[in-house]
Amino acid sequence: MDTILIKTIKVSLGVTLTALISSQASSQSGSLRSEFPDLANLYNSFDVSQAEVYDAIAEISADPASQGGRMELKMHLDMMAEMGHGGHGGHGGGMSMDMDGYFGTLETEARIKLGETVRGNYPDNVASEAFSNSSALNERAARVLTHGRSFEQSLWDIFADESTTIYQKQVAVDNSIQIYLNSAEDAVSLLPKSAELYLDHDYADAFKMGYPKLSGLLYANQWLKLASLEAIIISQVDPQFGGRVPLTLERYWNKVGSDTGMTMFPAPTEMPSVPAISPQLYSQAPQAAIILDNLNMLESALADVIAYPNLQNRDAMIDQVVAQYTSDDMYLTETMDYLLNALRGGIFEQGGPAIGDLSRSERNRTRDAMNMNHTMIMSAPN
């Protein structure tokens, strides 16, 4: 879909918003909350905890006790930038969630608090107001993230409804995309963004490198959303894979680990992407998949800006990042490049497959080994 057509869609949908929402809601006999209440509760806590991640980073950065850590982090980021292969750009270089970053007990204490948040129960209205209540985000960023959550909720409800056919789901997804794009200024693009925008922007790696425990938790939350959706969809496509949502939940809690983030299981060190973690979603709804990946990239990029040491004009930089992801003109890439970049991040590093088994990184392996691993992942879940 070209840029002109996208902009035409965004402008022309105004009066249909309320009607489409009402029609979609009334046509579904199931929803994520009715079919998978544990997931619905967790997703609310994810919104609250994500807003708290941003605020925790800002609070640590403002704490005089973090001055030494900020100086060291800035020196490291400058060195990596000069070398031309930072952690983002090289698809790696971050620390695992159970390692201490540059802020020691300050980050550990924040991680303990966030672990409590993830395990809490929050009503829908609290979750929907989480981003607007974040002191680290400005108004526009909060609106874009909140609008994105509304789209995600509609998507999860559509696929959780087992009473509808694949065709009906595709129609409902198309309607949800149209509703989402109606609020043009608050919608990320449905065209894939280039790797350069996410991996090599001016503040890349500040979050992952500076706050491994907090970034690991955010990536684990993103992983569960995609992995559980993959489990839901594949169970409807092939009944032999039914009942796998509890497995994704078990794997998620293993990744979260203890209150401080200690775990024997690998937490994601790269941002999870739809092609790697939920290929069924990409197969059935590629435009929705791209929106989700653009949203996840935006979330991480915002964390980079908030985490970058001693940054001046932070609000202006946040606005710049939001503009880049909501634009249908800037930093675009071809679909094949988008897919290749998603897989270059490594399925293992992104948290591992939703229902299959992958015990070690598949990076830098032979094509035969990769094909064997792919067969194992898709045909022999455990």
Task: Please tell me the predicted confidence (pLDDT) of residue 23.
Answer: 38
Tokens found for residue 23: 């029609």
Q: What is the pLDDT of residues 160-188, one digit of tens each?
A: 999 999 999 999 999 999 999 999 999 99
Confidence of residue 95 (pLDDT cuts 50, 70, 90): low
Task: Please tell me the predicted confidence (pLDDT) of residue 82.
Answer: 86
Task: Please tell me the predicted confidence (pLDDT) of residue 7.
Answer: 42
Residue 193: beta bridge partners? Answer: 332
Confidence of residue 323 (pLDDT cuts 50, 70, 90): very high
Q: For residue 218, what are the domain limits?
A: 3-379
Give the other-Cβ count within 10 Å of 102's Cβ: 23
Which is higher by pLDDT, 371 or 376?
371
The answer to whether residue 90 scores a pLDDT higher than 60 is: no
SS3 193: strand
Our count of domains for the chain comes to 1
Give the other-Cβ count within 10 Å of 34's Cβ: 13
Q: What's the farthest any 2 CA atoms get from each other in the chain?
A: 57
Q: What is the pLDDT of residues 182-235, one digit of tens each?
A: 999 999 999 999 999 988 899 999 999 999 999 999 999 999 999 999 999 999
SS3 259: coil
- CA 306 to CA 302: how far, in whole Å? 6
Mean pLDDT value across the chain: 86
Cα separations (Å) of 154 from 122, 174, 235, 288? 18, 11, 19, 11
Instruction: Give exposure, 165-179, as e/b (b: 16+ Cβ within 10 Å).
Output: eeeebeebbebbbbb
Q: Is the pTM of this model over 0.75?
A: yes
